[in-house]
C-alpha cells in the first residue's frame, strides 16, 4: 500500500533571490522517484503544495525540492528549519521517458530547472549525451548553474537582462544549436507555459519529440478529484481533446498532444 510519508527536513539552503533547496529524509520517496515526478508537501494551509523532485540520494534516503516563494504556502515551506517534520505524498505523477533517448536537450526556465536537474543527473548516469539550456530573468534569479554545467555535455545559460550568459530567452540559445547537435535528440522542457510552448514548437518543427511538464492547481494530487485537468488532444483526432489529469496522467506530456 502507498502511504503518506512524514519527512524530516535535513537541509535548507537559499539558492537565489526567491527560492531555496530543501533536502528531506524519506527513504521511500528517495528510492522511488523518477525525473519529472513531484511530491505534494503539507503546510499550514488547507491543501498540499506540489513541487518537482530536484534530486534523490537513495544511500542517505533523501530527496530534495527547489521551492520558489510565490505565496503564503511556498513562503512557509521555504522558511522551514532543519528538524521540521512535514507530511509528504509522493512520488506522484508520471516521468520523463528517458529510456530510449539517444541524446537529450533540456530547456529549463525559472524554477523549472529544479526538476530538470534530476533528469540531467539521471541522464549522466545512463551516459546519455545532454545539452542543457537554462533561462532566468537575471543573475540573481539563477540557480543550479555550476551543477548543471558540470553534469551536461553542452551548457548554455540565458538571461533577460544579459547579466549572465546570453542576453535573451532560451529560444536564443536553442537557435544557436546546429543540426548535428540536435539531430536525434529528445527535448525536455520545464518552465513557464509560454516558454514550453515556444520550445515545443521549435522541436516539433524540426521533427523532435518534446516532453513538457504542465502545472495546474491541484487538490488530491493522485488523480481522484479531477480539478487539475489539462487539455490533451484525443489520439488520432487533432481537433478533439479530452481533459487529462495533470497529477496522474501528467505532469509530463508529449508536447504534440498538448492543447496550449
Ligand X SMILES: Cc1cc2nc3c(=O)[nH]c(=O)nc-3n(C[C@H](O)[C@H](O)[C@H](O)COP(=O)(O)OP(=O)(O)OC[C@H]3O[C@@H](n4cnc5c(N)ncnc54)[C@H](O)[C@@H]3O)c2cc1C
* Binding stretches for ligand FES (CB under 6 A): 218-221, 223-228, 245-248
Q: What b/e string do you get for 68-95 counting C-beta neighbours within 10 Å, with b at 16 or more?
A: bbeeebbebbbebeeeeebebbbbbbbb
Nearer to ligand X among residue 170 and residue 247 (C-beta)? 247
Residue 108 touches which member of ligand FES, other proteins, ligand FMN, none, C-beta under 5-8 Å by kind: none
**Is 159:183 a contact under the CB 8 Å cutoff?**
no
Task: Report the nearest approach of ligand FES to the CB of residue 214 (Å).
Answer: 11
Residues numbered 71 to 100 that lie near ligand X (CB under 6 A) are 71-74
Nearer to ligand FES among residue 164 and residue 248 (C-beta)? 248
Q: Which grid cell is 140? A: 540573481
Residues 6+ apart with CB under 8 A from 57: 30, 63
Nearer to ligand FES among residue 47 and residue 166 (C-beta)? 47
Q: Select from 35, 108, 109, 115 the one that contacts ligand X (CB under 6 A).
A: 115
Task: Report the nearest approach of other proteins to the CB of residue 223 (Å).
Answer: 5
Nearer to ligand FMN among residue 166 and residue 227 (C-beta)? 227
Task: Report the nearest approach of ligand X to the CB of residue 78 (Å).
Answer: 9
Alpha-carbon distance of 196 to 201, in angstroms, equals: 8
Residues 6+ apart with CB under 8 A from 160: 135, 136, 137, 138, 167, 168, 169
Residues 6+ apart with CB under 8 A from 119: 35, 36, 96, 98, 104, 106, 188
Report the interface residues with ligand X, using CB under 6 A: 19, 38, 47, 49-52, 65-68, 70-74, 111, 114-115, 215-218, 251
Amino acid at each position: 500500500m502507498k502511504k503518506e510519508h512524514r519527512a524530516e527536513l535535513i537541509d535548507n539552503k537559499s539558492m537565489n533571490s526567491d527560492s531555496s533547496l530543501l533536502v528531506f529524509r524519506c527513504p521511500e520517496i528517495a528510492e522511488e522517484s523518477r525525473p519529472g515526478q513531484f511530491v505534494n508537501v503539507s503546510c499550514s494551509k488547507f491543501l498540499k503544495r506540489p513541487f518537482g523532485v530536484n534530486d534523490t540520494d537513495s544511500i542517505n534516503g533523501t530527496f530534495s525540492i527547489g521551492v520558489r516563494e510565490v505565496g503564503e504556502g511556498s513562503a512557509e515551506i521555504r522558511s522551514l528549519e532543519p528538524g521540521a517534520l512535514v507530511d509528504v505524498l509522493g512520488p506522484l505523477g508520471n516521468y520523463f521517458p528517458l529510456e530510449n533517448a539517444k541524446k537529450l536537450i533540456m530547456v529549463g526556465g525559472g524554477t523549472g530547472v529544479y526538476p530538470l536537474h534530476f533528469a540531467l543527473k539521471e541522464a549522466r548516469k545512463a551516459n546519455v549525451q545532454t545539452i542543457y539550456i537554462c533561462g532566468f530573468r537575471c543573475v540573481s534569479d539563477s540557480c543550479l548553474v555550476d551543477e548543471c554545467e558540470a553534469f551536461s555535455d553542452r551548457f548554455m545559460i540565458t538571461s533577460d537582462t544579459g547579466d549572465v550568459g546570453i542576453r535573451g530567452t532560451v529560444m536564443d540559445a536553442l537557435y544557436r544549436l546546429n543540426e548535428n547537435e540536435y539531430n536525434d535528440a529528445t527535448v525536455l522542457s520545464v518552465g513557464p507555459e509560454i516558454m514550453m510552448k515556444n520550445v515545443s514548437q521549435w522541436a516539433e518543427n524540426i521533427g523532435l519529440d518534446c516532453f513538457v511538464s504542465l502545472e495546474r492547481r491541484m487538490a488530491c494530487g493522485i488523480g481522484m478529484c479531477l480539478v487539475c485537468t489539462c487539455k490533451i488532444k484525443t489520439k488520432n483526432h487533432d481537433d478533439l481533446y479530452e481533459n487529462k489529469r495533470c497529477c496522474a496522467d501528467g505532469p509530463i506530456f508529449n508536447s504534440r498532444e498538448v492543447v496550449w
